[in-house]
Amino acid sequence: MAPSGPGSVRRRCRRVLYWIPVVFISLLLGWSYYAYAIQLCIVSMENVGEQVVCLIAYHLLFAMFVWSYWKTIFTLPMNPSKEFHLSYAEKELLEREPRGEAHQEVLRRAAKDLPIYTRTMSGAIRYCDRCQLIKPDRCHHCSVCDKCILKMDHHCPWVNNCVGFSNYKFFLLFLAYSLLYCLFIAATDLQYFIKFWTNGLPDTQAKFHIMFLFFAAAMFSVSLSSLFGYHCWLVSKNKSTLEAFRSPVFRHGTDKNGFSLGFSKNMRQVFGDEKKYWLLPIFSSLGDGCSFPTCLVNQDPEQASTPAGLNSTSKNPENHQFPAKPLRESQSHLLTDSPSWTESGTNPGKGKAGMSNPALTMENET
């Protein structure tokens, strides 16, 4: 093995430091369990019925919170599949060509059969020099992970992970259950907080825990409600956080609603077709993360062929035209009005809820 240098030591130190927010949340969650379940429910509550109801409801919310948080942290971000990587010959040709039109011509030839609709601000093919691949739509390079992440939303320090295609549903559920967790604690703790605050109950060890628990739950409820509301709006518009700040650029120009298919289909793209899986931290998102239905205002002149069964002049509710370039089967079904989704590929289990994330190359932890 090669000896580790100063750079390797710095990287290891950064990796340890990146876990500090996760450790903080975990310790806070452990203390809240002790404060609520032990000090509030068992020590302070005198009504047995109230104890039982509060403990059952609390443990359900606690379990869903921990489950969704765990899945958000430990679901590895996904990188583009092999077809988006340049071949050895294309890499050599790209290195020989100077930056400019010749450079772009190599990329255009490599991308001609890929389901790519977005471009850079200058209209060029989106290419990642570090990963040496053509970026799929909505894919971005994360400087923290040093990887290209499919449908990257943002890098979240509180989960020490990139939030993207593979775990965006888990992140939304984490926000939802953490908000419900805090609201439930604040609501059931309020009367005991008031009693301790007005000296209606004797000073005990539980007083500090119950009073601080209410303050913490109320404070986190405010911040989580705004963050959860913002991401609900993003889902309804089929946008990522990055796309909300910088609209995607297509051949015809910038289009902030280029990926929006309407509220219902936008929801299905994240949560899937089967509603029984919506509230569970189980992967059920539609598609492969590499291609997405688009609602282009104008047709891309470079995308000449129309996929079978799709009318290139069909309109969505916002009167946008659908692209002519073939989509993945796992996404093109969203262009139809059928209420359910079935995968017609050779692998009948691909993309079903509860299964592993479909047909993608997953980044290995290094």
**pLDDT value at position 300?**
42
Q: What is the pTM of this model?
A: 0.81
User: Cβ of 313: how many Cβ atoms within 10 Å?
Assistant: 10
**pLDDT value at position 252?**
83
Q: Which candidate in 131, 156, 162, 182 is catalytic?
A: 156
Residues lower than pLDDT 70 in the chain: 1-7, 200-201, 296-366
**pLDDT value at position 5?**
63
**pLDDT value at position 2?**
46
How far apart CA 293 and CA 209 sit, in angstroms, is 51
**pLDDT value at position 67?**
98
Question: Using one digit for the tens of pLDDT, what is the confidence trace for 36-88?
Answer: 999 999 998 889 999 999 999 999 999 999 999 999 999 999 999 999 999 88
**pLDDT value at position 304?**
37
Structure tokens at 162: 């990139």
Instruction: Determine whether 156 is an active site residue.
Output: yes
Burial of 51 (0-12, 13-18, 19+ CB in 10 A): middle
